[in-house]
């Protein structure tokens, strides 16, 4: 099934870019998005997530003579989802709702045709609720951005990381091999993600209970349950640096908000019992990993400090209510 384009009413796109203390990088992203929005009805809104470092003033000054671009202040740093929701709810000038909302990370730079290709793909596939780009680094290397929904099996495999287990559960892992062609996936990373306005109306925006991580997983899951699948669009290309605002690449210890988001995702997807079950599955996989390390100490790899202890402690506090 395809839509017939209406030249008198071209579909509109609202591009939302969230900034937190990366004003210069965000301005680069805005420039790339502005080029990619040429010929597309709509506009760009830049949301400063209460940076408090002069970012809002710097961006407002740099973009003041570009009427298609607005810079707004969130007023609080509520995280990735809350900040993007400020822009989504703002809509186009005059409060007009767009046909599509395009979420772009502040450290991501779409190719000149990237946004148009996402829009056109969704126009051709009216039952697709969300669509995302092929993401690559500055060196051209593809990033892993296509995923399956997490489950007890995927948690078990992620912790065990042993050959036999990984082979048996190869089709249950969260990370997917990058598809060679455009098509359905469970969920996509939110660095370059287009959302149909009908999805916003039917299942809502990002859940602001997630401060950071799992919010796009949750949105794609809710959309899928509402009959709106997510598709990967191979032809749409976006360069992405990654982890500039979050500092994830430099984590020595996983922050508490990651555990909060993980628990919330599984609880929303199946109740407290499921959240407990997947945590136990991870711990069981970790036991297999420890046995392997006892026999193969070299090449066993490392991980964030105290991860298992933090994961277990967080689960216990959630279950027994002693936060």
47: closest CA among 32, 34, 30? Answer: 30
Contacting residues for 37 by C-beta, under 8 A, at least 6 apart:
13, 15, 43, 44, 68, 115
* CATH architecture group of domain 12-142+178-245: Alpha-Beta Complex (3.90)
> Where is average pLDDT lowest: 2-6, 22-26, 64-68?
2-6
pLDDT digit string, tens, across residues 135-163: 999 999 999 999 999 999 999 999 998 89
**How far apart, in whole angstroms, are the C-alpha atoms of residue 155 and residue 164?**
15
Burial class (CB in 10 A: 0-12, 13-18, 19+), 103: buried
- Residue located via tokens 């002069």: 54
Q: Which of 156, 166, 146, 136 is nearest to 241 (CA)?
A: 136
- Per residue in 27-72, pLDDT (tens digit) is 999 999 999 999 999 999 999 999 999 999 999 999 999 999 999 9
- How far apart CA 177 and CA 186 sit, in angstroms, is 13
What's the pLDDT tens digit per position in 270-301? 999 999 999 999 999 999 998 887 777 655 45
Domain ranges of the chain: 12-142+178-245, 250-320
Residue 5 in this model has a pLDDT that exceeds 90: no
Assess contact for 83 and 20: CB atoms under 8 A: yes
How far is it, in rounded angstroms, from Cα 41 to Cα 10? 7
Kindly tell me if the per-residue pLDDT of 248 is higher than 90. Answer: no
Of the pLDDT bands very low, low, confident and very high (cuts 50, 70, 90), residue 2 is very low
Q: How far is CA 223 from CA 61, 201, 294, in A?
A: 38, 11, 43
Residue whose tokens read 């969920």: 187
């Amino acid at each position: 099934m395809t839509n017939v384009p209406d030249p008198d009413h071209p579909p509109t796109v609202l591009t939302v870019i969230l900034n937190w203390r990366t004003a210069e990088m965000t301005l680069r992203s805005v420039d790339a998005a502005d080029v990619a929005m040429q010929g597309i009805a709509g506009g760009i809104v830049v949301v400063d997530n209460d940076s408090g470092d002069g970012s809002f003033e710097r961006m407002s000054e740099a973009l003041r003579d570009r009427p298609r671009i607005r810079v707004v202040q969130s007023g609080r740093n509520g995280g990735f989802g809350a900040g993007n929701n400020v822009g989504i709810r703002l809509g186009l000038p005059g409060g007009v709702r767009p046909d599509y909302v395009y979420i772009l990370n502040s450290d991501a730079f779409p190719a000149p045709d990237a946004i148009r290709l996402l829009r056109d793909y969704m126009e051709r596939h009216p039952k697709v609720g969300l669509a995302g780009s092929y993401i690559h680094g500055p060196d051209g290397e593809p990033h892993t951005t296509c995923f399956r929904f997490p489950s007890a099996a995927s948690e078990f495999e992620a912790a065990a990381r042993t050959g036999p287990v990984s082979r048996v559960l190869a089709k249950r892992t969260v990370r997917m091999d990058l598809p060679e062609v455009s098509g359905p996936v469970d969920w996509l990373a939110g660095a370059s993600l287009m959302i149909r306005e009908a999805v916003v109306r039917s299942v809502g925006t990002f859940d602001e209970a997630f401060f950071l991580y799992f919010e796009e997983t949750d949105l794609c899951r809710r959309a899928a349950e509402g009959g709106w699948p997510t598709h990967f669009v191979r032809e749409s290309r976006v360069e992405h640096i990654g982890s500039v605002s979050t500092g994830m690449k430099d984590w020595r210890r996983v922050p508490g908000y990651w555990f909060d988001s993980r628990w919330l995702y599984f609880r929303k997807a199946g109740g407290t019992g499921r959240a407990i079950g997947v945590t136990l599955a991870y711990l069981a996989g970790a036991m297999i990993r420890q046995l392997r390390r006892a026999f193969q100490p070299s090449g066993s790899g490392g991980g964030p400090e105290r991860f298992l202890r933090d994961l277990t402690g967080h689960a216990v506090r959630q279950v027994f209510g002693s936060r």
